[in-house]
A and B are shown apart, each in its own frame.
Chain A
């Protein structure tokens, strides 16, 4: 499903060149749940952004579903990402001015899905995440746990094959964190491929494989 070959990403400013990823070779199969761990600044989020087609590598190759996406332009990456990849962020990243249901509806809107179908999918996602009673509320009116549920609902509403989660429990208390992980685990059980960046050993324990990064390189891979 996902394969990176000698993946590299360097950030260059006027004064300094920083290497975030330095020859990452990673293969993730369809339906796999992989946790990426490592100290701050090791390149976890950079790798996730590249996997999510939000960023492009400066070297190496990235094959997604067997297609080499490395040479794709930004609009092409945007098009490919639509409906294929869902994102869950540590800080939820909900749009403040949109209600819960509007936030969830967002990816469907850009997929130009008919309104009735959108409605149906949003209701289903809200029911599944147990937030239907909050449909008309705005993000600021929700607790952290509820916001992350909305974020997960938004990530899954388009039924993506891949869900990328960047420290999804980082801003949650343990109870809410556990609930979120249960939800992700459930999605994985239903066939989703999940790649999760985390600092938490406990969260990582939900994954089938843990990839440890250090200084932009994979140092260990542990099957669970």
Chain B
């Protein structure tokens, strides 16, 4: 180890370059590796996560149990009997309410914003949180359990257990502290408050989770439920129709498609698989750039010590002795690099969310294993490698570094171009001058509440339509955030949306044939009417849509005035022009529209999984955006008594869909420059060695008349040839790679412009030339007489 320290102090320049290169590349790799690990181990802190399921219930008519299903999120203790906890195969169940961010007040007006959920007393029976202090059992209203970190933040000087705080105008008491889950959680919370009766909760989304008994799978449970043909029955409607229902369990994270982070901050949607694979590719490439760089520079250090090695061998050092010595040197460099890496990771972690939307959580076990692997294995590779006099190894490594850098920057340019194409593509519906707002939330716990809301919403609509700035408005539209997939009887999948003349107006939907759905013809109609888009028409294979119907595999509506004993067949009344309410990278969806009257009517509410937040879309007359928003706020206050309009523009909602693409492009761009930086460090190191090795030669050439240009060419020729070779290979490879990427992940895509690879090469060339310049300049400053005197 002493000798290793000596080496580092003797070869400061090369060591510094090696360390810097390793720190840059490994920091990037570690950041990506941690993020990937975090995303790929979501909810792994729950050892029995396969047994934890989201409970729904399915309803069907007692006289035709095989037909007509509708699904809704189950209540743990439903009003019509048979709690899920009493169902065979269920070990425990809990109801959880997703909440908005909590504003928590301590004495002295100290306020904290907290990620919170509410749950009943069986929460920890399903979710195995570990108690650090106190008890995690929630018993009475006002009980709250908080995470260790939040406890430290809120009560830094004392034990949090027994402390009180105000939240939602209620006094809460901390009954216990739980340890933060070791992995990322689909539902992230720092606080769980107790709820028994959801009546007082505003703005919530209830989910019921059931934990199955050991040995029982979700599929087995569901099959058993269907065979039992309904665990209970209830009657409703004017004719007291009997409806059977049973429980259906879905995967734990099934609700993710129907929630968004904006409405429910506690919900962590996992990154899409393709983006994670792309990040993995960047991480691996950057890792290799760093490793090649290190191996190259270490080979230079070994070259410079050839004489020393020969002498050691001459005086009896075995291969193992030499290997051990080299291993220790490398171990020291790797360990120092790792210290640097963690400093960078720690310094950048707080900014990762802002820079790349990559929140990093602490994972001590993963971090330790990753660090040890790098520190112990990297020296094995570098110490075992042979140093060839020809320098072919270093040429190959440098070639690969150039190759990776050019390829990465080519792909990052393309991704940015692709992003621009997707974001500027016409979605086929109005996104400009449309406000998406939430003027009210449904707080209906009695018939009085219900009636009041119906009246208020009617008034709201009327008042809004009075404004000269408002073109039209439609309610209950969350189609951008929540996608409902339905199937016909043949299994053809379609997205389901609601339509009436207002929705059609606001979104500017174009009817190609037939008619759209509207109040006058489709409200309280006894036949099931629908409109489909062009893609749905093709996909369903309807030869004559005016006469053929679409048999759906389950009910969309539960109504009292329709004949539900038959399989519902929807009559197509119109074809709407295709539009794209999802990311442009996804294929054009088939869309199926049913009538929505736009006023609240419990009888017509679709019983389907979804949040209680249904946004209102308001189409504004162009040029009057500010006036319209002011008016909207005024009406909101007047009708609903609210003073905090939650709104954004629909065009921003469209842009938000590309956040992940934007992030990936940004990461590619940043990390490709890191790869170039590391490559430049390698080139600098090699060049330093070259100049030193060729001091005498340069001096002699100068004596014989070599000019600055001659020396510059002499020294940089090798690097330029390798760069040219790498460019020649990387262009076709990156183009083939891009083609694969395009065909696999993007439905519409940007063209691969001719300038992309050229600019990529130019950037790498420019940065490497700048690196070489300094050394070339130094070389041309050599005073021949001094060098030759030394020799």
Chain A residues with CB under 8 Å of chain B are 45, 49, 52, 54-55, 75, 78, 81-83, 87, 89, 91, 93-97, 106-107, 110-111, 154
Say yes or no: B791 contacts A97, CB within 8 Å. no
Q: Given A93-B791, A95-B697, A97-B697, verify A110-B785 contact (CB < 8 Å).
A: no
Pairwise interchain contact B700-A110, C-beta atoms closer than 8 A = no
Among the listed stretches B51-59, B411-419, B702-710, which one makes contact with chain A, having 4 or more residues with CB under 8 Å of it?
B702-710
Q: Which of B696, B701, B784 interacts with A106 by CB under 8 Å? A: B701
B789 interface contact, C-beta 8 A: yes
Least distance between B717 CB and chain A CB atoms (Å): 13
Known: A95-B697, A97-B697. A78 touches B707 (CB 8 A): yes
Q: Do residues B705 and A82 form an inter-chain contact, with CB atoms below 8 A?
A: yes
Q: State the interface size on chain B (CB cutoff 8 A).
A: 18
Least CB separation from A89: chain B residue: B788
Interchain CB contact under 8 A, B791 and A154: no
Among A52, A81, A89, the residue within 8 A (CB) of B705 is A81
Q: Given A91-B791, A93-B791, verify A55-B705 contact (CB < 8 Å).
A: no
Contact call A111/B700, Cβ cutoff below 8 A:
no
Tell me if A93 and B788 are in contact (CB < 8 A). yes
B783 at the interface (CB under 8 A from A): yes
| In the complex, residue of chain A having the shortest beta-carbon distance to the beta carbon of B791 | A91
A41 and B389 CA atoms in complex are apart in Å by 38
Cβ B705 vs Cβ A83 within 8 A: yes
Cross-chain contact A110 with B704 (CB below 8 angstroms): yes
Question: Is the beta-carbon distance between B710 and A110 smaller than 8 angstroms?
Answer: yes
Which residues of the other chain, A, contact B708 by a CB distance below 8 angstroms?
75
Q: How far is the CB of B701 from chain A (nearest CB, A)?
A: 7
A89 to B700, CA, bound (A): 10
Taking CB atoms, residues of chain B closer than 8 Å to A45 are 785, 789
Per-residue interface assignment for chain B, residues 747 to 791, with 1 indicating a CB less than 8 Å from any chain A CB and 0 otherwise = 000000000000000000000000000000000000111001101
Most chain A CB within 10 A, of B702, B703, B706, B783, is at B703
Residue of A nearest to B706 (CB): A110
User: Chain A's nearest CB lies how many Å from the CB of B425?
Assistant: 58
Given A93-B696, A110-B710, decide whether A49 and B785 contact each other with a Cβ distance below 8 A. yes
When distances are taken between beta carbons in the complex, the residues of chain B under 8 Å from A87 are 703-704
**Residues 703 to 761 of chain B near chain A (Cβ within 8 Å):** 703-708, 710
Q: Which residues from A are CB-within-8-Å of B702?
A: 78
Which of these, B696, B700, B707, B783, contacts A55 with CB under 8 Å? B783
Q: Are A93 and B700 in contact (CB under 8 A)?
A: yes
22 inter-chain pairs at a CB distance below 8 angstroms, sorted by A residue, are A45-B785, A52-B703, A54-B703, A54-B783, A54-B785, A78-B705, A82-B705, A83-B705, A87-B703, A87-B704, A91-B791, A93-B696, A93-B700, A93-B788, A93-B791, A94-B700, A95-B700, A95-B701, A106-B701, A110-B701, A110-B705, A111-B705
For B705, what are the chain A residues with a Cβ–Cβ distance below 8 Å? 78, 81-83, 107, 110-111
In the assembled complex, the Cα of A103 lies from the Cα of B710 at a distance in Å of 15
**In the bound complex, how far is the Cα of B697 from the Cα of A210, in angstroms?**
32
13 new A-B contacts, CB < 8 A, other than A55-B785, A87-B703, A93-B788, are A45-B789, A49-B785, A54-B783, A78-B702, A78-B705, A83-B705, A87-B704, A89-B788, A95-B700, A97-B697, A106-B700, A110-B705, A111-B705
Whose C-beta in chain A lies nearest to the C-beta of B703? A87
When distances are taken between beta carbons in the complex, the residues of chain A under 8 Å from B707 are 75, 78, 110
When C-beta atoms are compared, the residue in chain B nearest to A55 turns out to be B785
Assembly CA distance A93 to B701 (angstroms): 10
Question: Across the interface, which residues of B come within 8 angstroms of A75, CB to CB?
Answer: 707-708
C-beta contact mask, B265-307 vs A, less than 8 Å → 1, else 0? 0000000000000000000000000000000000000000000
Cα distance A46–B706 in the bound complex, in angstroms: 22
User: Hey, which chain A residues are within 8 Å of B791, CB to CB?
Assistant: 91, 93
Please indicate the chain A residues that have their CB under 8 angstroms from the CB of B783 in the complex: 54-55
A107 touching B785, Cβ below 8 Å: no
Most A CB contacts (10 A, CB to CB) among B696, B702, B704, B785 go to B704
Q: Which residues of A contact B789 (CB under 8 A)?
A: 45
Contacting residues, chain B, for A81 (C-beta < 8 A)? 703, 705
Residues of chain A within 8 A of B696, CB atoms compared: 93
B421-455 CB mask vs A (1 if < 8 Å, else 0) is 00000000000000000000000000000000000
Name the residue of chain B whose CB is nearest to the CB of A93: B700
Q: What are the residues of chain A within 8 A of B784 when measuring CB–CB?
A: 54
